[in-house]
Structure 1
Amino acid sequence: MVETFQTHGSGILIAPEDTTKVSALKSGVIIFAGNDRKTGKTIVVQHADNSLSTYGYLSSIDVHVYQSVQAQEHLGVFEPKTNMENLYFAIEKDNKPIDPVQVIQVDDRP
């Protein structure tokens, strides 16, 4: 992790060293899969508890809007490049951002 929730304010930035397959945190429905002005190629999954998980700065998107996904199902790919070295990940519940570190294990906290 290269930028914490406390620093970023809405999510975290992760710096995978190699090409990484990005998977769903938990099951849900894709409500956005496309280009976002802030986070480039982005996927947003809505979960049964109405929380949202967002995956941004992806290299490729392998799902489509309204597609149901299961936990750990492949969503897309992140390839570190000079102009895009970090993967964005955020969780939102009740319109409020949640620190992803409270939900998932992230190695190498800064």
Structure 2
Amino acid sequence: MRTTLIVPFMLVIAACSSHGVYTVRSGDSLNSIANRYNLSVAELSRMNNISNPDHIRVGQQLKIRGGAKVRDGRAVASTQTSTYKPNKTTAASDHTIKAPSTYNNQPIPKMGGWHKPTQGKVVRNFNPNLPGHKGIQIAGNLNQPVTSANNGQVVYAGVGSGGFGQLVIVKHSNNVYTAYGYLSSISVREGERVKSGQQIGTMGKSSEGRNILHFEIRVNGSPINPTRYVKF
């Protein structure tokens, strides 16, 4: 199976594929999935031998026509996949998506002031050559506020992948994104515009049981050292 990436992160957006498979999430309907990929319900039903469009289940994998585009017109980019794992927090799938991970030394486009997304000490530094180090990890208190590091728009809010728990991804420009993992709660919705410093969630626990925020900045899909732009 191949999965798709609609934002340039190795963190997942639980959905999709160009070859293509979409894993049904809680709240999905056949109509909403078809609409997302510019398909008709009839086309999607025919591709998946569905006789009753009202009968789809969370975790079900649906074939999506290759080359489909999401509604905002961005082409669905394909990449290698991992397996589906239901998460007890939500019904979203838990795919791990590999995006370009070459260390990017280029400066972030001017976007106004950056600020740290939460209070605390950096306990894991950026090292793009090590798994899980394509961002930084900040230790703090359980349920303390996590805020957007700059103005932007929420493009993902739900269960992440690779053990990052609940995740928010914010788009700040055409090629700059930030990600906030290990959240205990999420207070924003996909499509919502957020201001720098606006709360987007609260700090949760890592898979090791520590109170942690995983924070990434990516430019053109490549990881950037957050401490170059955000003072901690």
Q: Tell me the TM-score normalised to structure 1 length.
A: 0.86
Q: CA deviation at 1:83?
A: 1.9
Cα deviation code 1:44-102 (max 9, x no counterpart): 00002530000000000000101011111110011458724221000000111000000
What is the letter of the counterpart of residue 99 of structure 1?
N
Q: Judge conservation of contact 2:135–2:215 (CA < 8 Å) in 1.
A: yes
Q: Judge conservation of contact 2:142–2:211 (CA < 8 Å) in 1.
A: no
Please list, as runs of the form range in 1=range in 2, the aligned pairs for 1:31-46 lying within 5 A after superposition: 31-38=155-162, 39-46=164-171
Flag the structure with larger Rg: 2
Measured on the aligned residues, the alpha-carbon RMSD in Å equals 1.8
Unmatched runs of 5 consecutive residues or more in structure 1? none
Among 141, 161, 172, which residue is 1:47 paired with? 172
**Structure 2 residue 188 is matched with structure 1 residue 63:** yes
Other-structure match for 2:226 = 100
Q: Judge conservation of contact 2:185–2:201 (CA < 8 Å) in 1.
A: yes
**Structure 2 residue 198 is matched with structure 1 residue 86:** no
Q: CA deviation at 1:17?
A: 3.8
Distance 2:210 2:165 in 1: 10
Other-structure match for 1:4 = 125
Unmatched runs of 5 consecutive residues or more in structure 2? 1-121
| SS across alignment from 1:101 | helix
Q: Which has the higher strand share?
A: 1
Other-structure match for 2:198 = 73
What is the letter of the counterpart of residue 98 of structure 1?
I
Distance 1:79 1:9 in 2: 18
Q: Which runs of 4+ in 1 moved over 4 A?
A: 79-82
Cα deviation code 1:1-21 (max 9, x no counterpart): 111002643100111145420
Number of paired residues? 106
Other-structure match for 2:13 = none
